[in-house]
A and B are shown apart, each in its own frame.
Chain A
Amino acid sequence: MNTRRPLSGIMPELKQHALEIANRHGRGLDDLDPDEDFTDGQIFDSLGLLEFVLATERVCGIKIPGEDVVPEHFGSLRNIAEYLRAQFGFEG
């Protein structure tokens, strides 16, 4: 039995964290597109992305290996959802 929270509940929380981190770094965003690129410096810089990875670990109750912090997995909210689904078995 999958005891993990469904992605439908996790993703809005992660989006909120992403907006908070981006705005703390001076971006002034109201919303984030699911395909908005996190890795080209427009949303986060490198430290902001690390903050977001830590937030993802807290929210999802998982440990994310350092070598998984790549654009394929953390390039956008959509990529993150796919990564959580594929690597950790999150559903929904």
Chain B
Amino acid sequence: MSGVGPIAGGARAVLEDAAPLVWDGALGAREYGMLAVSLAFVAWILPPAHWALFGLTAVAVYWIGVAPWGRNRRLLAALAVLALFAWASHRFPRPGVPLVLWGGLGLEAFFLLRCVDWAVSKKAGESAAVARHRPGRYALFLSFLPTLFAGPVATHRDFFRCYRPRSVLPAVELRAHLTKIAWGLLKFCLVAAYLRAAAAELRTLGESGEALLGLVSPWLCLWAYVCLYLVQLYVAFSGFCDIAIGVSRLLGFHLYENFDRPLLSRSPVRWWKTMHISAYRWLMTHVFYPYWEHTQIVRKILTVFLASGLWHLAVARVVNTDAALQLLLAVTIYGAAVAALIKLAPSRLGEAVRGVAATRAGPALALSQVTLTFLFMALVHQLFWAGMTGRPLAENVRLFQALFLGA
């Protein structure tokens, strides 16, 4: 198993250089201002029917989170409320949000994660008077505008732990945050859009049987489309997150980086840990560690992927049999690959691979591992996003037939 790469140094460097946390959780003008802007924006983009849906769900989850119950009871109650929320949100379809990643598809997704985190993170015996229970803090955590649509999804603890309110930012920090936002805008608005158009063109050529420039066969065009589709997904997602993280840091919330060069991963295990790091951390905290015995790694991993699949299914644009099948198939294949590789890591095969990596054949091995991982993840994401966007299964069957059988 390849080791996880270090989290990009930016967040840690900022945290280490910043003043010690002194914020006691009492909302002041600054925090109320952020809350007001966030709530106003949410009210603006959501139809009125959704105001009640989100509002009632948030209130119900708040009370569950501060109730004097055990963790499991609070979790079950929260899941019941959120299942109702997910069901109702599909009954009131809402228009897409312009200029936002995936048309705002992530709004409900990250709302669900924050609600579950709130509901289960109360410590046993914690009194109602602690800062954590203040409704204003909860509201800000749920509705923080920069991270509303695509994360990073910080846990409640991490969100306020990384808050360093300062009235004046040093020039070097200001420059770093603005650069991050500019880079994110470039990736999200320009690069991803270009890649998306190029991918669509390649798919059209491949499906129509035409060669690109008379040189690249339709079959290669389809493979190029599959690869470029994944790259544009990553560029769009990481670009939007760069904007969100840069703005959050300007506001005092020094959130962690959300990606660590996943396209260069040498195995799906590393991809899992470096593509959408905040969701990975959330799943580790709330699914991986709490359930099964500490030694039952395979069961833990499969449970994490099942939970992830159900979470995505709950917020998919279209929920039908095709969508569920493709989405759950994608996470099953992905999870099985991760579990198998982790299980094989300490075996003789794993030792042999590490042995080859230490020889002169190491770079060639690394290149082949990166290539195979990339192609595997590209195929998994075709299935996955077909499920999320409601593309018919038959479309993917034709694509995979063309890719592997040339049909």
Chain A residues close to B by CB (< 8 Å) = 25-26, 40-42, 45-47, 49-50, 53-54, 57, 64-67, 69-72
Of B28-36, B284-292, B361-369, the one with at least 4 CB within 8 A of chain A: B284-292
Partner of B12, one of A40, A64, A65: A40
When the two chains form their complex, are residues B3 and A45 in contact, meaning their CB atoms are under 8 A apart? yes
Pairwise interchain contact A45-B4, C-beta atoms closer than 8 A: yes
- Determine whether the beta carbon of B295 is less than 8 Å from that of A69: no
Which chain B positions have C-beta within 8 A of A45? 3-4, 273
* Contacts across chains A and B counted by CB atoms under 8 Å: 51
| A67 interface neighbour in B12, B71, B273, B294, Cβ under 8 Å | B71
**A16 CA to B298 CA in the complex, in Å?**
27
Measured in the bound complex, the distance between the Cα atoms of B5 and A26 in whole Å is 10
Enumerate chain B residues within 8 angstroms of A41, measured Cβ to Cβ.
4, 6-7, 273, 277
B285 touches A70 (CB 8 A): yes
Taken residue by residue from 151 to 168, chain B's Cβ proximity to chain A (1 for < 8 Å, 0 otherwise) reads as 000000110000000000
Q: Looking at the complex, which one of B7, B123, B273, B292 makes contact with A66 (CB distance below 8 Å)?
A: B292
Residues on B with C-beta less than 8 A from A50 are: 289, 294, 297
Chain B interfacial residues counted at CB < 8 A: 25
Q: A40-B12, A41-B6, A47-B342 are in contact. Are A72 and B123 (CB under 8 A)?
A: yes
A54, B297: Cα distance in complex, Å: 12
Chain A nearest CB from B386 CB (Å) reads 29
CB distance from A76 to the nearest CB of B (A): 13
Within the complex, the shortest CB–CB distance from B77 to chain A, in Å, comes to 16
Query: Residue B256 at the A interface, CB < 8 A?
Result: yes
Q: Within residues 267 to 317 of chain B, which ones have a CB less than 8 A from any CB in chain A?
A: 273, 277, 284-285, 288-295, 297
The dominant DSSP class at the B interface is loop
For the complex, give the distance between the alpha carbons of A74 and B12 in Å: 19
Q: Which residues of B contact A66 (CB under 8 A)?
A: 289-294
The reply to whether A26 and B3 form a contact with Cβ atoms under 8 Å apart is yes
Which of A25, A53, A57, A71 sits near B3, CB closer than 8 Å? Answer: A25
Residue of A nearest to B291 (CB): A66
A49 to B300, CA, bound (A): 14
* Other-chain residue from A47, A70, A72 in contact with B297 (beta carbon distance below 8 A): A47
Q: How far does the alpha carbon of A54 sit from the alpha carbon of B256 in the complex, in Å?
A: 28
Chain B hits for A26, CB < 8 A: 3
Contact between chains at A46 and B284 (CB < 8 Å) = yes
CA separation between A28 and B39, bound complex, in Å? Answer: 47
